[in-house]
Amino acid sequence: MSPRFDRMVDAVEIVEAGTPTAAAGNGRGPRRNLLTQETVLMTVLAQDPLVHGADGPVRARIPVPAERLQGGPRGHRFAVVDRSARPVALHVRDPWVYRDRWSGVDPAELSRDRGFRGQNVYAVAAHTLALVEQHLGRPVPWHSGAPQLRLLPQALMEANAYYSRRDGAVLFGWVTPLGTRPVLYTALSYDVIAHEVTHAVLDGLRPRYAEPGLPDQLAFHEALADLVALLSVFTLDGVAECLLEPVAGRVHLDRAGTRAQALMDTPLTRLAEQVGSHRRPAAGDDDPPGLRASGLLRPGTAWQRKAEFDEPHRRSEVLVAAVLHTLVAMWAGRLEPLAVDDDGALDSGRVAEEGVKSARHLLGMLLRALDYLPPVDLEFADVVDAVLTADTRLAPEDDHGYRTALRKSFARFGIRPPRHRILDEDGVAAPAPTGPAHALGIRYEHLNLAALRTSPEEVYSFLWNNAETLEVDVAYPTRVERVLGSTRVGPDGLVVTEILADYTQTLRTTAGELPPGITAPAGMAKDEVVELWGGGVLVFDQFGRFRLHQRQPLLDADRQNRRLQYLSTHGGHGTERWGATGAQPFALLHGAAPT
């Protein structure tokens, strides 16, 4: 990134705004919504600029956490930096007062307004982060440790965008008009913004997912970013119904195959149409619009034998497809009780409402599972395991069968939960291995339970005292990375407060001295340095009592052999290619394909 972007913009521009006591519906003052905090409504493009509704590009007014805003716009978590223009100000006189200047502007005019582009990128980013934090039950740290993530709306002259770990920023590209193609600003695409901010979120939560590992690890980065972009659209008022393309408030879903197929064939399952048109100029009429349309991937296991699925973006489509197939199946099932007109039409508002319920529930399941994922060497099977475990603990009954549907959908792609590595004291997520609950023999002697809720040193003491029961060999270097609190509210109102502690283990050795059962790939020199990783997540209740242990064993020979073979085959052994210290793993990742 150019040095000209290295400094923050300090100037503040003052513009007109409303009053903090304005009515909730007018967008001028704070209001409450599902994010359970004070918010204001900001106008954004709610889809890619190429996706149009009846009145042009689809726009929406989305809830954004209310806070003190400076020019940029700049809040305490995001700072929009555009050195080639005056900082955009969304307030007047009082930085706590916001008014939406673009709520009544013709959608076709919005893309030409540089000020709107600043609001658009800020609002979508802030809304995305708020969704994640709502479901995790706590603030999310950025990898850099800085309080703000920078958003650069015109940083690259290309049809691309990427999250930069080194710069603590998301860099958005733009392309000048060419022939019949209009100007492209990736900072106007809801899909691209939500996708890239999700990369930054996951890098803050699971920083080792950018390091050398199995192919599923980087693919999960891409898959989660795609899924947050796709499913979060359902949280925007009126957008789902608009994208169903209703006629006089009615929609037909039975004219081409099943209802699930019809729902899959909507813009709601496609990503970044405008960027896709620039990246694939020779696409045929039968090609689906968009950068990716993962829902069109058919279930099966053939992908596991195809080399093309070693590439992270392509591999990520498997995970995205499994979730989208779950979504449309649940959505179509919810439509069964609805009344149908003589011509087979359904009320578009009710159809959209059922889709919103399904998408929001699945999004919550995915985001809550992030804390239950192993901190290193992630595989798709671990994702299923974590989603089912996290949801079971928060919603034990699963009244609508989401877990069953998700499990079946993933199984159709050959992805099944592993032999349960989770040690569960409660017996909720997995049967307690030694009998009834509280039968694991966990020892709390010489522990400060209050300190256990905040101190990595105290959690390590717990690990040390219970190493045999937890099946962790602390003879290997073991580090408790962080200890975090979380309070979640389930769909049925169940409140679960937990303390989560991540730990990692590492073994640095040579190819000639690997532990028994772990074999160096053919051709690897015996003196070549090899790093093996393991780790897990310890979950305690609010009183400091142990409840659950998600394990990724350091000496899992099967996983370590597959990892070494994959890294050797793809030139990623050591730490050169996939996540070197000081490198730009996401820039490299997006060099082959945008977002």
Token pair, residue 18, equals 């409303």
**Are 253 and 394 members of one domain?**
yes
Domains: count for the chain:
3
**Are 200 and 263 members of one domain?**
no
Question: Which pLDDT score is estimated for 579?
Answer: 30
The answer to whether residue 231 sits within a structural domain is: yes
Contact partners, residue 109, CB within 8 Å, separation at least 6: none
Question: Which pLDDT score is estimated for 21?
Answer: 30
**Are 338 and 440 members of one domain?**
no
Question: Which pLDDT score is estimated for 217?
Answer: 94
Token pair, residue 321, equals 């497809």
Q: What angle do CA 478, 483, 487 make, to 5 degrees?
A: 145
Last residue of one domain, picked from the residues 412, 438, 459: 412
The answer to whether residue 514 sits within a structural domain is: yes
Token pair, residue 93, equals 């006189």
The stretches in the chain having pLDDT less than 50 are: 1-29, 32-35, 285, 435-438, 573-582, 588, 592-594
Pairing of strands 169-175, 149-156: parallel
Distances (CA, A) of 490 to 253, 396, 402, 506, 541: 32, 10, 14, 35, 16
The reported pTM is 0.88
- The DSSP symbol for 320 reads H
Question: Which pLDDT score is estimated for 358?
Answer: 95
The answer to whether residue 573 sits within a structural domain is: yes
Please tell me the distance from the alpha carbon of residue 571 to that of residue 277, in angstroms, as a whole number.
Answer: 31
Token pair, residue 281, equals 């100029």
User: Helices marked H in 297-422 — which ranges?
Assistant: 312-335, 348-368, 380-394, 402-412
**Are 243 and 321 members of one domain?**
yes
Amino acid at 526: K
Question: Which pLDDT score is estimated for 436?
Answer: 42
Please tell me the distance from the alpha carbon of residue 23 to that of residue 460, in angstroms, as a whole number.
Answer: 51
Question: Which pLDDT score is estimated for 172?
Answer: 95
How far separated are the first and last CA of the chain, in Å rounded?
A: 17
The answer to whether residue 214 sits within a structural domain is: no
Percent of the chain clearing pLDDT 90 (strictly above): 55
Please tell me the distance from the alpha carbon of residue 32 to that of residue 465, in angstroms, as a whole number.
Answer: 46
The answer to whether residue 489 sits within a structural domain is: yes
The answer to whether residue 595 sits within a structural domain is: no
Please tell me the distance from the alpha carbon of residue 338 to that of residue 504, in angstroms, as a whole number.
Answer: 50
Last residue of one domain, picked from the residues 358, 389, 412: 412
Please tell me the distance from the alpha carbon of residue 393 to that of residue 110, in angstroms, as a whole number.
Answer: 44
Distances (CA, A) of 378 to 206, 310, 438, 590: 10, 15, 29, 20
**What pLDDT, in 10s, does the model give residues 172-214?**
999 887 777 778 899 999 999 999 999 999 999 999 998 888 9
Distances (CA, A) of 321 to 201, 243, 302, 529: 22, 19, 14, 38
Token pair, residue 166, equals 């080194």
- The DSSP symbol for 373 reads S
| Mutual angle of helices 402-412 and 348-368, in 10-degree steps | 80
- Cα dihedral angle (394, 397, 401, 406), rounded to 10 degrees? 40
The answer to whether residue 507 sits within a structural domain is: yes
**Are 455 and 389 members of one domain?**
no
**Are 476 and 572 members of one domain?**
yes
**Are 437 and 403 members of one domain?**
no
User: Helices marked H in 51-189 — which ranges?
Assistant: 107-110, 114-136
**What pLDDT, in 10s, does the model give residues 74-117?**
999 999 998 777 888 888 777 788 888 898 888 778 888 889 99
Question: Which pLDDT score is estimated for 430?
Answer: 60
The answer to whether residue 465 sits within a structural domain is: yes
**Are 313 and 248 members of one domain?**
yes
**Are 180 and 297 members of one domain?**
no
Distances (CA, A) of 346 to 185, 247, 550: 36, 10, 45
**Are 513 and 365 members of one domain?**
no
**Are 249 and 192 members of one domain?**
no
- Give the Cβ contact number of residue 475 at 10 Å: 8
Domain with 129 in it = 3-205
Task: Please spell the DSSP secondary structure of 7-59, one letter per residue.
Answer: SPP----------TTS-GGGSSS-EE-TTSSEEEEEEEE-S-TT-EETTEE-E
**Are 236 and 179 members of one domain?**
no
Last residue of one domain, picked from the residues 412, 433, 468: 412
> Do 455 and 449 meet the contact criterion of CB atoms below 8 Å apart?
no
